[in-house]
Amino acid sequence: MSEQHVHHPRIWREVMQAVIRLLVLGGGLIYFMGRAEAGLNHFHNQPFVNIALQIALALAAIGIYAAYGRLIERRHVSELSAGGSGREWSLGVLTGMGIYTACVVVLILMGYYKVEGLNPIAFVLPAMALAIKSGVFEELIFRGVLHQSVENVLGSLAGTLAASFVFGFLHLLNPAATIIGAIYISIEAGLLLSAAYMVTRRIWSCIGFHMGWNFVQEGIYSGVVSGGPDEPGFLKATIEGPVLFTGGSFGMEQSVFALLFCTTTGLILLRTAIRRGHFIAPLWKR
């Protein structure tokens, strides 16, 4: 029997497993994310209840993901392994907060971001709930399910492109979304988050980065999150200037500074993943 005939059944088996994984696990997580999104709306004026709800739903989603891997796929769910998770999550949070802050500092120096005062500290609470929802659910779906499922068959390049494209263009569902903003997110955030996943082969740093970025964006700097609602944060700020620099109504993700800083970080992480041997070839080349 030829080598080609030996490999064909395995390839088709992996393809079917990937499709089922996308439909069943991805669909289940999307349902939970919808519930989390509803919580953000229903309990907007009850931030502590909202935060507790987001934590509960996030833990349930992580449990579903882990159970699917262990019971259905019969594998060790290494991407959710606890070893080093706190350190990786913390590093992701600090990186997300740091890059966003760097963008704000540049805008301040250019005179496009002006602080006029402070709001009560309670203004940061809605951003905490949003950060939990977006960080956990979106990373489980886009990096854990979509990137990994495509990567298992077509390799890391295809997994990164697929997760980045879908992640970016789903932001067109937001009220003030723009095509340019979706493209920017696909490049800057899609590359960075997929590369962060590939560096460690765990999802914690991706969740941390996503949470850190979204939290300071809305909760501290009063920025718009990816074309979503304009909610005030801790700083009373006026952001006025060219859309190229400020991101306009879409938020910092459409700023050329975010594109530069995030994409550069993503390329550094991608190089690290490749040097560690974590960049996977398509199934038929392994």
- Per-residue pLDDT tens over the stretch 58-98: 999 999 999 999 999 999 999 999 989 999 999 999 999 99
Which residues does residue 237 pair with via DSSP β-bridges, in sequence order? 115
**Domain assignment of residue 263, given as a range:** 3-285
Confidence check: pLDDT of 133 > 60: yes
Contact between residue 207 and residue 177 where contact means Cβ atoms under 8 Å apart: no
Please give the pLDDT value at position 215.
Answer: 97
Q: Report the number of distinct structural domains present in the chain.
A: 1
**Helix spans in 43-84 (H):** 47-67
Please give the pLDDT value at position 7.
Answer: 59
Please tell me which residue, 155 or 3, carries the higher pLDDT value: 155
**Tokens standing for residue 23:** 């439909």
Which residues does residue 113 pair with via DSSP β-bridges, in sequence order? 239
